[in-house]
Amino acid sequence: MKSSVFVGTSLDGFIARANGDFDFLFPSGNEPHGYEEFIATVDAIVMGSNTFEVVRRMTPWPYATKSVFVLSSRRLAATPQGITVERLSGTPSKVTEALSARGLHHIYVDGGITIQRFLDAGLVDRLVITRVPVIIGTGIPLFGPTRRDIALEHIATRTFITGLVQSEYAVLSKRAAE
């Protein structure tokens, strides 16, 4: 199974404010930056419960008809009408094994802690990081402590009229023991 991350950050590396808000990620102009093309390539989205709490209120629902799996050991809050969300728990390895057994081939990993755990487990193949030209000073970081270096290969960097800078990387590091 292939796992990809497509995420926006402030220039100082935060994916959200301390309260979970990510209003700074949408500069004026709404210039296309590859999300629609990316989401068309994935079978499902895997996210943490904190991310789900934020995105479940979004309209329109940002994942169209894709299957959404929320990693949580507790019951999930209500989902938008007509949207199917399934709760899963377990290590990133167990989650990818379960989803692969369902016939999924490409998952989109979203949410700070979830991205960190999948990276640490060696289960992310591709990172697409879009930096927004704003410094927010504090918040939820994209990356946290790691048990080892995670080697990346730069694939491409694109710039947009709105000031967004998007870099794509292949993850080269071997899978870590969980």
Residue 28 has pLDDT above 70, yes or no: no
pLDDT band, very low/low/confident/very high, at 177 (cuts 50, 70, 90): very low
What pLDDT, on the 0 to 100 scale, is given for residue 147? 85
Residue 25 has pLDDT above 90, yes or no: no
Domain boundaries, the chain: 2-13+32-171
User: Residues 7, 128: contact at Cβ < 8 Å?
Assistant: yes
The domain covering 2-13+32-171 belongs, at the CATH homologous superfamily level, to: Dihydrofolate Reductase, subunit A (3.40.430.10)
What pLDDT, on the 0 to 100 scale, is given for residue 77? 73
> pTM of the predicted model, to two decimals?
0.91
Listing DSSP states for 1-60 in one string gives: -EEEEEEEEETTSEEE-TTS--GGG--TT----SHHHHHTT-SEEEEEHHHHHHHTT-SS
pLDDT digits (tens, 9 = 90+) for 131-156: 999 999 999 999 988 888 899 999 99
